[in-house]
């Protein structure tokens, strides 16, 4: 009976012992596809801070220029010889230690700094590839992901390597903007100069990043771009908070005559504004306004008030 139970007891003890290695289970593997994540190249930043733990914690900061050249060097108190480099896209961590106990190459985390739009830095999100050292534990590679700062890799003695990618959530291919245009009732007989529209982007997008040259109304009409106008060349004029909700908008103006030429007389005429940000992200926004007939002269000199084409005509009024 003892001989039957001995293997079972041994397996149970092994399972109970595994968590003490500090392995953090991760749902995805080394080269899994990240449908909602984008790799940020190391070359997009200015520096990388690598957190290493061999007894004590060490925060090792290297410029991207150093990583792209001779590499960052670090020798730990446990005789580990690190070299950190980049191929422009990924962070590469190489470590060598003469064989001792297989406990070398201890990376806790790494952060890419200096990428525009990410003031808090970008942390490792993927292990792209690795070379396991002698007696290293491959599952510990996941301990370097994120900013938890709780565990570290244990990738073995002699030669070992870890290749990391910095990931961010992918920007949507198209964002929905709030658009408000005025006047809300467009008299097709008016001789005014402009139709003014305000484009409000969702947080955290900045209206200053709108590439005004890409804006189109209903797919055909561009806004006024002549720099002789202050609302074209002055940020103080075209970045506003028209609705006073604390979120800035981009003001653009369209030639009123051009808009009236393509407008359809209806109670609800939809205006669609499309465009792109400087990073290539597209946006779209919609607004609905009313269009009306111009005033018409009746026989005898009487005037008829403006009316929408909706079947409910306003009562004609005479002015003698």
pLDDT at res. 304:
42
210 assigned to some structural domain: yes
- Check whether residue 160 and residue 180 sit in a common domain: no
15 assigned to some structural domain: no
126 assigned to some structural domain: yes
Say whether pLDDT at 296 is over 90. no
Say whether pLDDT at 171 is over 90. no
pLDDT over 90 for what percent of the chain?
71
Element (H, E) at 270: strand 269-277
State the average pLDDT for the chain: 84
CATH number at residue 197: 2.60.40
pLDDT over 70 for what percent of the chain?
80
For the segment 89-143, what is each residue's pLDDT rounded down to a tens digit?
999 999 999 999 999 999 999 999 999 989 999 999 999 999 999 999 999 999 9
- Check whether residue 153 and residue 44 sit in a common domain: yes
Its domain, for residue 202, covers 174-304
- Check whether residue 292 and residue 191 sit in a common domain: yes
- Check whether residue 189 and residue 299 sit in a common domain: yes
- Check whether residue 45 and residue 164 sit in a common domain: yes
- Indicate the number of domains in the chain: 2
Dihedral sign for Cα atoms in the order 25, 22, 108, 81: negative
pLDDT at res. 293:
75
Which of 145, 169, 193 is where one domain is finished? 169
Considering only residues 90 and 37, tell me which one the structure prediction assigns the higher pLDDT. Answer: 90
Q: How far is CA 35 from CA 28, 39, 48, 168, in A?
A: 12, 11, 25, 11
- Coil vs helix vs strand at 153: coil
> Can the peptide bond before residue 183 be classed as cis, meaning omega within 30 degrees of 0?
yes
Which of 169, 184, 205 is where one domain is finished? 169
249 assigned to some structural domain: yes
pLDDT at res. 106:
98
Q: How far is CA 249 from the centre of its chain?
A: 19
253 assigned to some structural domain: yes
Say whether pLDDT at 18 is over 70. no
319 assigned to some structural domain: no
For the segment 205-230, what is each residue's pLDDT rounded down to a tens digit?
999 999 999 999 999 999 999 999 99
pLDDT at res. 19:
33
315 assigned to some structural domain: no
Q: Which residue has the tokens 């290493």?
A: 52
- Check whether residue 59 and residue 144 sit in a common domain: yes
């Amino acid at each position: 009976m003892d001989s039957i139970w001995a293997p079972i007891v041994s397996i149970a003890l092994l399972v109970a012992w595994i968590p003490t290695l500090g392995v953090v289970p991760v749902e995805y593997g080394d080269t899994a596809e990240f449908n909602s994540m984008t790799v940020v190249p190391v070359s997009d930043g200015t520096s990388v801070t690598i957190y290493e733990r061999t007894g004590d914690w060490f925060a090792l900061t290297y410029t991207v220029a150093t990583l792209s050249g001779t590499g960052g060097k670090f020798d730990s108190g446990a005789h580990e010889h690190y070299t950190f480099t980049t191929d422009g896209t990924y962070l590469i961590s190489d470590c060598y230690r003469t064989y001792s106990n297989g406990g070398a190459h201890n990376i806790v985390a790494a952060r890419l700094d200096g990428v525009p739009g990410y003031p808090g830095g970008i942390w490792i999100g993927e292990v792209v590839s690795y070379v396991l050292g002698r007696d290293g534990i491959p599952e510990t590679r996941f301990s370097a992901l994120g900013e938890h700062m709780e565990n570290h890799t244990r990738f073995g003695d002699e030669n070992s390597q870890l290749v990391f990618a910095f990931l961010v959530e992918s920007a949507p291919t198209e964002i929905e903007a709030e658009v408000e245009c005025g006047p809300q009732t467009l008299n097709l007989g008016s001789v005014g100069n402009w139709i003014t529209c305000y484009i409000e982007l969702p947080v955290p997008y900045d209206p200053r990043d709108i590439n005004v040259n890409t804006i189109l109304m209903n797919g055909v009409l561009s806004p006024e771009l002549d720099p002789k106008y202050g609302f074209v060349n002055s940020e103080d004029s075209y970045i506003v908070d028209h609705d006073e909700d604390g979120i800035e908008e981009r003001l653009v103006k369209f030639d009123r005559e051009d808009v009236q030429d393509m407008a359809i007389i209806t109670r609800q005429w939809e205006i669609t504004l499309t465009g792109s940000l400087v990073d290539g992200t597209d946006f779209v926004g919609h607004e609905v306004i009313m269009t009306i007939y111009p005033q018409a002269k009746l026989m005898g000199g009487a005037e008829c008030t403006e009316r929408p084409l909706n079947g409910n005509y306003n009562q004609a009024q005479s002015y003698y």
